């Protein structure tokens, strides 16, 4: 198995709350609630660890409430090389309704100083030692500019390692200043990167191919919510459509998709086999809180029910929140 370094620059505690229906301005009684140390790169690492890989976690972590994160890393046997900074890691609230709709309330995170960022830059080369692939996931914390992020990405890319990227907001535009191995946007993020609306499947297809053709990313893994995902490389495209499942919480679905696809890549699988596996594991994920579980009793059944799409990209109005 491989050794993967997963970066999360702006981790969070995820407070997942289940309720029947969200009605703003009223009092709600939660059906269940759960507070977990998380962050997109950390979620990716947890899935990769369950798939048998060695995982190293890096990024920027608030010192004041770091203990639960370190306990998670110890329990799941993931090495931490996080740079700790002054302040508290943020809390993100995920409100999951009975029909599968999720509303996110995301905190900003601690403010990163120039000294904090320089510490990460200086530590990066030694953090990459012995690593087979790098994942960069999540938003930028306050104090880190798009240009700062782009220059750091260049360090990762220049290492010669595969760099898989899943970000949004200002960090997404940094991809224009380098060439990552794979970019994993959802429909909204792809539109944000291109700077215009993508109202139908033809627009999405053209936009993903533009990202590859522009040299910003060698590959694009486009997540489409209930319609699964598409993998673009060169002039080729593969789409996998998941089986129907009862959707409970979609928070970690995109992270699970990326981790499972990277597992397939590192295992030497074909694009079709890797995408089929990734979409099946993302479908397993949305049935509960937390990352997908490849050891689920019915995972083989889910995998068998994944359908490969037609050459015309199929989309769904249901999107996996990132």
216-239 confidence digits (pLDDT tens): 999 999 999 999 999 999 999 999
Q: Cα–Cα distance between 279 and 242 in angstroms, integer?
A: 6
Q: How many domains does the chain have?
A: 1
Model pLDDT, residue 198? 93
Catalytic residue among 14, 132, 255, 293: 255
DSSP state at residue 242: P
- 70-89 pLDDT, tens digit each: 999 999 999 999 999 999 99
Assess if residue 28 is contained within a domain: no
Assess if residue 163 is contained within a domain: yes
| Residue 296 lies in domain | 3-10+40-90+115-308
- 95-136 pLDDT, tens digit each: 988 887 889 899 899 999 999 999 999 999 999 999 999 999
Assess if residue 109 is contained within a domain: no
H/E element, 172? none
CATH number at residue 212: 3.40.1190.20
End-to-end CA distance of the chain: 27
230, 237 in Cβ contact below 8 A?
yes
- Least Cα distance to 47 among 228, 257, 243 occurs for 257
Mean pLDDT confidence for 285-301: 95
* 64 has catalytic annotation: no
Model pLDDT, residue 157? 97
Predicted model pTM: 0.93
- 198-213 pLDDT, tens digit each: 988 899 999 999 999 9
Assess if residue 110 is contained within a domain: no
294, 256 in Cβ contact below 8 A?
no
- 163-184 pLDDT, tens digit each: 999 999 899 999 999 999 999 9
Residues of the chain above pLDDT 90, percent: 84
Q: Map residue 287 onto helix, strand or coil.
A: coil
Give residue for tokens 């699964």.
228
Residue 9 pLDDT > 80, yes or no? Answer: yes
């Amino acid at each position: 198995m491989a050794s993967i370094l997963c970066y999360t620059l702006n981790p969070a505690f995820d407070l997942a709350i289940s309720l029947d229906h969200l009605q703003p301005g009223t009092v709600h009684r939660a059906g269940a609630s759960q507070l977990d140390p998380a962050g997109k790169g950390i979620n990716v690492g947890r899935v990769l660890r369950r798939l048998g890989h060695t995982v190293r976690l890096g990024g920027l972590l608030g010192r004041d409430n770091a203990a639960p994160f370190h306990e998670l890393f110890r329990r799941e046997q993931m090495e931490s090389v996080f740079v700790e900074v002054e302040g508290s890691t943020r809390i993100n609230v995920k409100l999951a309704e009975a029909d599968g709709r999720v509303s996110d309330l995301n905190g900003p995170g601690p403010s990163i100083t120039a000294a904090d960022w320089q510490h990460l830059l200086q530590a990066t080369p030694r953090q990459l030692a012995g690593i087979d692939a790098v994942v960069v996931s999540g938003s930028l914390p306050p104090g880190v500019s798009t240009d700062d992020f782009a220059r750091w990405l260049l360090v990762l890319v220049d290492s010669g390692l595969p760099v898989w990227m899943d970000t949004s907001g200002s960090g997404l535009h940094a991809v224009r200043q380098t060439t990552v191995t794979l970019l994993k946007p959802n429909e909204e993020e792809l539109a944000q990167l291109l700077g215009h609306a993508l109202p139908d499947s033809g627009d999405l297809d053209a936009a993903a191919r533009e990202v590859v053709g522009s040299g910003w990313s060698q590959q694009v893994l486009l997540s489409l919510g209930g319609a699964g995902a598409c993998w673009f490389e060169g002039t080729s495209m593969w789409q996998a459509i998941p089986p129907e499942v009862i959707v409970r919480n979609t928070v970690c679905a995109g992270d699970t998709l990326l981790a499972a696809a990277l597992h397939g890549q590192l295992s030497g699988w074909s694009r079709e086999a890797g995408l089929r596996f990734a979409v099946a594991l993302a479908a397993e994920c949305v049935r509960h809180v937390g990352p997908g579980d490849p050891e689920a009793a019915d995972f083989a059944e889910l995998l068998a029910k994944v359908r490969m799409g037609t050459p015309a990209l199929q989309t769904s109005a249901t999107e996996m929140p990132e």
